[in-house]
Structure 1
Amino acid sequence: MKSEYSIYHDEAFHDRKVTSKGKTYMNIENKDSSSYFYLIHLGFKNNEIDKYTSQYLQLESSYKKKLGLCDEQELKGDILKKRWFRYGIKTMNKEQVDFYTNYMKLIDKDVIISISIINQFELVFKNVFRGINTMILGHKEGSKMYYAFSKFLYLNKSEELLNLLFDIENNKVAIKQEIKSIANSVIIRNKEIAHKFTETPIAEQLLQFIENEEDICNDEKYDMDYAWSFQGISLLLDELEISKKVCELYIDGEEGFEKIIEMLQSKYYIVDGLDSKKSIGNRMSDMFIRLISAIIHSLEDQLINVGKTNKKEKHDLSEEWFKLTEKQYDLYIVIADIFNQREYIKGTLHISISSDAAFIFFMLLNYFVSFKDFNEYQKVSASEHANYFIGNSLIAFSKLLDDI
Structure 2
Amino acid sequence: MKYMFFYDETEHSRKINYETVTANNYCDNFITGIVGWNAEENECISDRYLAFESKYTYRKKDGELKSQTMKAKDFRLGFASLNNHTIEFYEDLVSLLDDKIVIYFSVFSKIEYVINQLFVNYHSSMFIDVDYMKYSIIKAINIYRPQKVIEAIYKEPQIFVKELRSFLEDRIINNQANNTLKECENQAFEEVLILLEDTEVPETLDWSYFAPFDGFKKLLTEMNIYEYQLMIDREGKESHTLNSAIDVGLENVTEEDSKDYVGIRMADMLVGLISRLMQSLKISLTGNYKEGKIKRTLLDSGWFAVNQRQLDLYKKLYLAICENNKYWYKTFSGIYSDDLVSFVALLQFMNHFSDADEIRKRNIEMQPEYYNAFVCESLNKRYEIMRNKLPIYPILEDDKNYFYNQRGAIVYKDISNQPMLPLYSRKNEFYVLSVGFSQNGTPLVTISENDKPICYRLPEDYGEWAMNVVGMANMGERLFPCKVVFSLIDGRYLVDIL
Q: TM-score, normalised by structure 2?
A: 0.71
Specify the alignment match of 1:371 in structure 2: 353
**What SS is found at the alignment partner of 1:202?**
helix
Alpha-carbon offset, residue 43 of structure 1? 0.6
Q: Please give the alpha-carbon distance, in whole angstroms, between the structure 2 residues aligned to 1:122 and 1:364.
A: 23
**Is the deviation greater in 153-162 or in 53-62?**
153-162
Specify the alignment match of 1:149 in structure 2: 137
Specify the alignment match of 2:381 in structure 1: 399
1:46 aligns with 2:29: no
- Pair 1:392–1:287, CA change in 2 (3 A): same
Specify the alignment match of 2:283 in structure 1: 301
1:324-373 Cα offsets, whole Å, 9 max, x none, are 11111100000101123246301100022313111101001111121233
* 8 A Cα contact 2:308 2:355, kept in partner: no
**Is the deviation greater in 289-298 or in 102-111?**
102-111
Specify the alignment match of 1:24 in structure 2: none
In the alignment, residue 222 of structure 1 is paired with which amino acid? L
Higher-RCO chain (CA-CA 8 Å, sequence separation at least 6): 1
**Is the deviation greater in 88-97 or in 73-82?**
88-97
Aligned Cα RMSD in Å?
A: 2.5
In the alignment, residue 230 of structure 2 is paired with which amino acid? L
**What SS is found at the alignment partner of 1:44?**
strand
* 8 A Cα contact 2:133 2:192, kept in partner: no
1:26-82 Cα offsets, whole Å, 9 max, x none, are x144222310000011011111111111111112211224x4x59x72111011111
1:318 aligns with 2:306: no
1:280 aligns with 2:280: no
More helix by share: 1
Specify the alignment match of 1:178 in structure 2: 163
* 8 A Cα contact 2:8 2:233, kept in partner: yes
In the alignment, residue 145 of structure 1 is paired with which amino acid? M
In the alignment, residue 194 of structure 2 is paired with which amino acid? Q
Q: Please give the alpha-carbon distance, in whole angstroms, between the structure 1 residues aligned to 2:266 and 2:379.
A: 30
Gaps of 5+ in 1: 22-26
Q: Please give the alpha-carbon distance, in whole angstroms, between the structure 2 residues aligned to 1:305 and 1:236.
A: 35
Specify the alignment match of 1:231 in structure 2: 214
**What SS is found at the alignment partner of 2:35?**
strand
5 Å-filtered alignment, 1:179-218, equals 179-194=164-179, 195-210=181-196, 213-218=197-202
In the alignment, residue 47 of structure 2 is paired with which amino acid? S
- Pair 1:142–1:207, CA change in 2 (3 A): closer
Specify the alignment match of 2:228 in structure 1: 247
Specify the alignment match of 1:128 in structure 2: 118
**What SS is found at the alignment partner of 2:56?**
helix
* 8 A Cα contact 1:8 1:249, kept in partner: yes
- Pair 1:214–1:142, CA change in 2 (3 A): closer
In the alignment, residue 77 of structure 1 is paired with which amino acid? S
Q: Please give the alpha-carbon distance, in whole angstroms, between the structure 2 residues aligned to 1:233 and 1:309.
A: 42
1:95 aligns with 2:76: no
Number of aligned residues? 384
* 8 A Cα contact 1:10 1:41, kept in partner: yes
1:79-102 Cα offsets, whole Å, 9 max, x none, are 111111111111222233222222
Q: Please give the alpha-carbon distance, in whole angstroms, between the structure 2 residues aligned to 1:265 and 1:153.
A: 33
* 8 A Cα contact 1:166 1:218, kept in partner: no
Alpha-carbon offset, residue 129 of structure 1? 2.3
1:56 aligns with 2:49: yes
1:353 aligns with 2:335: yes
Q: Please give the alpha-carbon distance, in whole angstroms, between the structure 2 residues aligned to 1:349 and 1:5.
A: 19
* 8 A Cα contact 2:102 2:325, kept in partner: no
- Pair 1:281–1:118, CA change in 2 (3 A): same
Q: Please give the alpha-carbon distance, in whole angstroms, between the structure 2 residues aligned to 1:382 and 1:363.
A: 18
Between Structure 1 and Structure 2, whose CA radius of gyration is higher? 2
Return the match for 1:381 from 363, 378, 388: 363
More strand by share: 2
Specify the alignment match of 1:8 in structure 2: 6
Q: Please give the alpha-carbon distance, in whole angstroms, between the structure 2 residues aligned to 1:301 and 1:111.
A: 30
1:382-401 Cα offsets, whole Å, 9 max, x none, are 22111111122112212221
Q: Please give the alpha-carbon distance, in whole angstroms, between the structure 2 residues aligned to 1:81 and 1:274.
A: 26
Specify the alignment match of 2:439 in structure 1: none
In the alignment, residue 117 of structure 2 is paired with which amino acid? N
Q: TM-score, normalised by structure 1?
A: 0.87
Q: Please give the alpha-carbon distance, in whole angstroms, between the structure 2 residues aligned to 1:353 and 1:342.
A: 26
In the alignment, residue 374 of structure 1 is paired with which amino acid? A
Q: Please give the alpha-carbon distance, in whole angstroms, between the structure 1 residues aligned to 2:238 and 2:344.
A: 28
- Pair 1:76–1:396, CA change in 2 (3 A): same
In the alignment, residue 192 of structure 1 is paired with which amino acid? A
Q: Please give the alpha-carbon distance, in whole angstroms, between the structure 2 residues aligned to 1:265 and 1:129.
A: 27
Gaps of 5+ in 2: 387-498
**What SS is found at the alignment partner of 2:273?**
helix
**What SS is found at the alignment partner of 2:24?**
coil
Alpha-carbon offset, residue 269 of structure 1? 5.3
Alpha-carbon offset, residue 105 of structure 1? 1.9
**What SS is found at the alignment partner of 2:299?**
coil
Q: Please give the alpha-carbon distance, in whole angstroms, between the structure 2 residues aligned to 1:309 and 1:83.
A: 25
